[in-house]
Structure formats: C-alpha cells, structure tokens
C-alpha cells in the first residue's frame, strides 16, 4: 500500500488560510490503513481546524467527506457536485489521489493534507516500512523475496558491501543488512547458488517518467 503521513497542522492551516469554505476529502484505501487520511483522520482534522479557527476568530465552514479511492475517477464523480460548492478541497489522499481529484473537480483548488512517503507494509501496530521502490524491474525471484533496491542503503544488486556488520547496516545499527537477509533466506530455501549469480546493472530505462501501464 501507499504510506503517507499528515502534514504538520500549522502548514495545513496556513495553506487553507485564505479560504472560507473548505471540504476535507478523505481516501478510504491505502492512507486509511496507515491512519493518515481515512474517515477517522478526516474527522480529527475537521475538529482541529474548527477549534483553531474559532480560537482565531475566523469564520470558516469545514465540510467532510470520505470516498473509497481518490485514484479512481468513478469514486470521485459522486462527490463532484458537492465539492464544487467549496472554495477549496483539502485532500487527505496520496499524491496520485490529490492529482486526480484536482483534474476531476477543476477549477476548485486542491490542497494536499498529506506527504506521500513510500510503498510499504505494516510492520507492527502503527509502524509502516518501505518495501518497494516501484523500480519497474523486479528482482525478488533472485533475491529470496527480499528487495535490495529498497532495503539496501546503497541499493546494491550484488552485495553485501564492506559496511555489513553482524547482519546490520553501517548506515544505522537498527537497519538490517538487506544482503545478509538475502543470504539467510536463500540458505533456508537451499538456493544459495543464486547468491553467486551476477546481477547485471539495473536498467534505469525500465522506469519511464511518468510511468504508464496499458492493458489491451
């Protein structure tokens, strides 16, 4: 899933300062799971903004809505009419969602309430970690299901480097050395021969910006 974090409150307050009627639009998929932009977070942000505005003596109308996904036009369309009644939309989706909402409800200004961080997994309650760089050239078959592009600080395709230290990375003693993990995993799988296999340099042409996938 896409993991994001809410922007600092002061930044959000500052960005919507000029508007009198703001719709907070939540997204019910990835950012809902990582507790950054779902229905609950919309309610909390709305409450915070109402209180801060009241204390500042500002009269701002705050609306709330959460849709299933902001990265799919069909989910945005039912709220477009309502959204157009507002001076601005504060989107609590990832960067992709923010952009599609902006396209669909144009010309209403969109303000992102989150910083989109990475594609990741839930490690434990309230902790999310990056697992995929979306590099467009998946190597996981060779590396025992551990991604060196994401989890090795240097993104080495043929590791480990000299900085590996008892299974930890030289960058931080809290970080696992991805190549130690790969070795251990391949060992368990009885496929250590893959460890000796040379991985050619990454094909950066595989990532075309902006990316596009077409199924036809």
Residues that bind other proteins (CB under 8 A): 9-10, 40, 43-44, 47-48, 50-52, 54-56
Nearer to other proteins, 11 or 187 (CB): 11
Nearer to other proteins, 33 or 52 (CB): 52
Nearer to other proteins, 113 or 149 (CB): 113
Nearer to other proteins, 126 or 211 (CB): 126
Measured distance CA(121)–CA(119) in Å, rounded: 7
Encoded tokens for 85: 């009644």
Q: Residues in the chain, how many?
A: 216
CB of 188 vs other proteins, minimal distance in Å? 33
The long-range contacts involving 53-60, CB below 8 angstroms and separated by at least 24 positions, are 59/20, 60/16, 60/19, 60/20, 60/21, 60/22
3-state secondary structure of 107: coil
Q: Do residues 27 and 38 touch, judged by C-beta distance below 8 A?
A: yes
φ/ψ (deg, to 5) at 52: -60, -40
């Amino acid at each position: 899933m896409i993991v994001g974090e809410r922007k600092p409150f002061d930044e959000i307050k500052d960005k919507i300062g000029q508007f009198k009627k703001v719709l907070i639009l939540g997204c019910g998929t990835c950012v809902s799971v990582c507790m950054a932009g779902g229905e609950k977070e919309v309610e909390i942000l709305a409450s915070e903004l109402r209180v801060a505005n009241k204390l500042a003596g500002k009269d701002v109308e705050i609306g709330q809505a959460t849709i299933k996904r902001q990265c799919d036009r069909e989910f945005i369309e039912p709220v477009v009419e309502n959204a157009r009644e507002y001076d601005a939309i504060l989107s609590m989706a990832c960067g992709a969602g923010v952009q599609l909402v902006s396209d669909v409800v144009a010309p209403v200004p969109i303000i992102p309430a989150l910083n989109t961080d990475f594609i990741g997994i839930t490690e434990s309650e309230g902790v999310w970690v990056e697992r995929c760089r979306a590099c467009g050239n998946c190597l996981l078959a060779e590396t025992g299901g551990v991604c060196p592009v994401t989890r090795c600080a240097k993104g080495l395709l043929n590791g480990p480097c000299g900085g590996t230290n008892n299974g930890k990375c030289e960058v931080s003693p809290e970080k696992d050395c991805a190549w130690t993990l790969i070795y251990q995993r391949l060992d368990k799988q009885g496929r250590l021969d893959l460890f000796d296999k040379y991985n050619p340099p990454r094909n950066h042409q595989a990532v075309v910006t902006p990316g596009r996938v077409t199924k036809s």
